[in-house]
Amino acid sequence: MADKDSAFKIRPATPDDVPLLLTMIRELAVYEKLDVCVVATVESLRASLFEGRRVAEAMIGDYEGRPAAFMLFFHNFSTFLGQPGIYLEDLYVRPEYRGKGLGRKMLQHLAKVAVERNCGRIEWAVLDWNEPAIKFYESLGATPMDDWRIFRVTGETLQTLAQR
């Protein structure tokens, strides 16, 4: 049997991975109790990740040749730092693979990507009830941004705002 490090490989997602990504996105949404919010399709993900202006990137974590985790991220920009950053939209490790350090390896990989691309930071959001994730992120040295609130405009509200 392979050692722990060689058993886990992180690779860029390919267009052929889009159905797998959507499956894992739905699994994550169920965990987060947000499954009714997933309206993404294979077609919409493929277009956003691989066609025309690519707006996000995804990585797959394979454990012993089986898909165990994924992360999806995109670039943002910090005017205060004067540098690009990375926003981690999703990080998900399938339940049967948790406790093996895969989430840590995924974030370490993303940190290397950020450093290679001269990014000043990585940011993400976590649901306030997700104590295991919060403790995990704090163990990595991540700092909660308690003074900040996330605002969102979607759907009909977005359409109305665009027409004003």
Pseudo-torsion of CA 34, 127, 117, 140, nearest 10°?
A: -140
- Residue 1 is predicted with a pLDDT of 38
For the chain, list residues with pLDDT below 50: 1-3
CA–CA separation, 33 and 162 (whole Å)? 30
Do residues 59 and 10 touch, judged by C-beta distance below 8 A? yes
- Residue 133 is predicted with a pLDDT of 94
Q: Which residues are catalytic?
A: 137
| Number of neighbours of residue 93 by Cβ within 10 angstroms | 23
- Residue 164 is predicted with a pLDDT of 84
Which residue do the tokens 């027409």 mark? 163
**Domain definitions of the chain by residue range:** 4-163
Pairing of strands 122-123, 66-78: unpaired
Going by the DSSP 8-state scheme, the letter that residue 72 receives in this structure is E
Classify 83 as helix, strand or coil: strand
CB contact set of 72 (below 8 Å; sequence gap of 6+): 21, 25, 56, 57, 58, 88, 89, 90
Give pLDDT tens digits for 8-21. Answer: 999 999 999 999 99
- Residue 4 is predicted with a pLDDT of 55
The domain over range 4-163 is classified in CATH as 3.40.630.30: yes
- Residue 6 is predicted with a pLDDT of 82
- Specify the pTM: 0.92
User: What distance lies between CA 119 and its chain's CA centroid?
Assistant: 16
